[in-house]
Structure 1
């Protein structure tokens, strides 16, 4: 009889769930049908994850997007992309299990779903698009959080010295502080343990979006509003002809990508308990998440555009569309920063687990990679520590924080990454897998309609990518390294 493996060894299935391999009847009751630790996610936690992922500080820039497109196109595009995102998210939710959406085998990641239904090189394309986007988002969030923290100091400065004062500050210390906090939070073992952080972040997103809407309503009520038009910025008055085109492309891209949470939809769905069926719960959570988001987007975009008109700032709060009441502006920026703390983890955890699963599979006998230790933390109880997780995640946060510091225009790159990832992850793969799963007849009316949707969204992504490249080139021309950002 061969010796049993040492207790420090863990299979790939239990890499992030060591309690699943405990002995005894209690452990049997505490595992799901795949042998992993019993999932405890609910409709509420899934909705919180979605809202945290979708409602970002970009909601406060939608007035700028509407200014580029105007009342008609701007509001129509907001609603159309909400419908498209919800529809494709329902298709993707049905693919979590294969081949049957309720009784099939679980797939833990987006790549796993694509492997189960499509296979081949499409799996690598999915991984490149998904994880490249997730890494980019973590860098972009570091920059955005620092901008909000700088805005807190500026708001206080403007209040004390006047709105015309030259209030400047460096973003670098704030990026460092944000990175330091993320090093600690990144030791949260996996996505399943993020519910509390997502709920806090979701509350914060509601808070600053509501503050932005309230301030915009107050500005409209004051009567001191900007000029709005049905078609947005006016050529020869507000912008040149070429700027009108490129900024319109960027605006459409901003709106399309502002709904794109399908990048992490499967990872969210994998946190749900198995009863009721995960796909049904995920569809309800997606409906609530997208509906709630759309309401806030329409309010922020439309009321913000009504308040500022065609000269709407890129962001209500960090670009100081409002100076007073200064304490409310400060509080809103605090909410943005806290939201980004949670959103960073929601986006980065799937990438962490992807790398750790690969390493576990490659070096299954390595104690450094697989062995976990129990650490007691006062007031928080026991916490699992793994040497590899500690070293690799810490170095990841340090590296991405450093990139954020040397490329503070990275948000323009993030727009390009979003353009490249939106089409395959939000539209193409969900549609292709739905066709494979339900065996939609080729050239049937449904088949043609689905392919038309894919084609239209591909064109939108391509145009947005062009707009992002133009914006990136302009930002690079203005960039001066290692200077304080005003």
Structure 2
């Protein structure tokens, strides 16, 4: 393992560094057990693009376009893309503050605000990543179920069974892949899987749309339900570009870390977002308001081709989950001093027990409440908007202090207020929609 301690920790001790902010208690920054500064900007750009074009992208026609319609959906998605690039670039520029690199979100928070914020943002980030991982397990289980019923629609196996299988596959992958940089070989497979399911969904949707009669594009539901659905869809807009872990991903990139991260982000939000935008719009065009939260449930075509798409979505979701689980894995590996070869028996057993326990809990909650669309809204409201849009703006004000003009400060404060209001509204809407669905469907529902 190649850790450049002086580069990462600004020349501090080999074990940790200690930050003090005013009269607050010290924040101890542990040395990471994972690799840093090894990856090219292009590899990091692919990692970021994997998140945007994950199997979640097959749901945006239903969870974004249906509640918002053509104008609201297209304008909203384009604006969310631009705003997300801006906010992510702000966070990337804060990676080196005070003469140090901050390789974890909570480390940066501790440096700027002190121990209380360090702990609060740590909790917020891990809640965010945990909710995202729940969604990936639901998505991979749904894709596997869709594959199953293509060839054996006897309803012997239900969605919870497939979620359990997906969870087991995630555990095997977590054991085999020790850290984020180790995804190198898997990035090729993930890119292939992404290309397969997005291309198949796009082509078959075009064929269905050409043959279909005029579609209904009206926003469904009563007036009150439309309002709640629209607010929930706003949370989904920002969830689509969610990472909540820019510092952790940036830690893997080679020097110069800020310049290379900006290159990776530019790649993600230009070339990287094209497939997601394309499949979202074409899915809504082809099926109108009847499109589901898993686009492949709507398309028609040869069973073998649909089977390839479903399995591709299943495997890609498992690989991408590892990206969003990696900060949790890094914390656990660092806390318990996991060093040396990833193939050492002790390290394999540790990953089996610790990561396995984490993923078993994730899988159980995924099967308990498998409402994917609402998880997008809830995650967006609780954590995506605060971590990706509110905090970067405030951190930038704190870090730059007197270097910003009054106009620049006002701009960042305006962003904070707007996204704060959006976060509260999206949370209330997601909670209401989840309560409604839990009244309609029992726990462990077969959706």
Choose from 13, 16, 19 the match for 2:33: 16
Q: Secondary structure at the match of 2:206?
A: helix
Partner of 1:46: 44
Q: For the Cα contact (< 8 Å) 2:33–2:333, is it kept in 1?
A: no
1:214-257: CA deviation from partner (whole Å, max 9, x where unpaired): 122112222434133xxx41xxxx42111111111122211111
Partner of 1:292: 271
- The aligned runs of 1:29-428 (5 Å cut-off) are 39-64=37-62, 65-99=64-98, 104-157=99-152, 169-187=157-175, 188-228=177-217, 232-233=218-219, 238-261=220-243, 263-274=244-255, 277-317=256-296, 320-357=297-334, 359-360=335-336, 369-370=337-338, 375=343, 385=347, 387-409=349-371, 412-413=374-375, 415-428=377-390
Q: Secondary structure at the match of 2:347?
A: strand
Q: Secondary structure at the match of 1:291?
A: coil
Q: Secondary structure at the match of 1:408?
A: coil
Partner of 1:466: 428
Shift of 1:370: 4.8
**Where do 5+ consecutive residues of structure 2 fail to align?**
1-13, 17-29
Q: For the Cα contact (< 8 Å) 1:374–1:384, is it kept in 2?
A: no
Shift of 1:383: 8.0
- Relative distance call for 1:440 and 1:430 in structure 2 (3 A) is farther
- Relative distance call for 1:398 and 1:66 in structure 2 (3 A) is closer
Q: For the Cα contact (< 8 Å) 1:48–1:198, is it kept in 2?
A: yes
Q: For the Cα contact (< 8 Å) 1:441–1:447, is it kept in 2?
A: no
**Where do 5+ consecutive residues of structure 1 fail to align?**
1-9, 18-36, 159-165, 361-368, 376-381
Q: For the Cα contact (< 8 Å) 1:51–1:202, is it kept in 2?
A: no
1:171-217: CA deviation from partner (whole Å, max 9, x where unpaired): 23322322222223223332222232234223322321222221221
Shift of 1:14: 5.7
Q: Which moved more, 1:382-391 or 1:415-424?
A: 382-391
Q: TM-score, normalised by structure 2?
A: 0.86
- Alignment length, in residue pairs? 419
- Answer with 1 or 2: which has the greater Rg: 1
- Relative distance call for 1:190 and 1:297 in structure 2 (3 A) is closer
CA distance in 2, matches of 1:441, 1:204: 46
CA distance in 2, matches of 1:214, 1:332: 12
CA RMSD of aligned residues (A): 2.5
CA distance in 2, matches of 1:427, 1:61: 23
Q: For the Cα contact (< 8 Å) 1:373–1:386, is it kept in 2?
A: no
Q: TM-score, normalised by structure 1?
A: 0.79
Q: Secondary structure at the match of 2:442?
A: coil
Shift of 1:148: 0.5
CA distance in 2, matches of 1:79, 1:410: 23
Which structure's residues are more often helix, by fraction?
Answer: 2
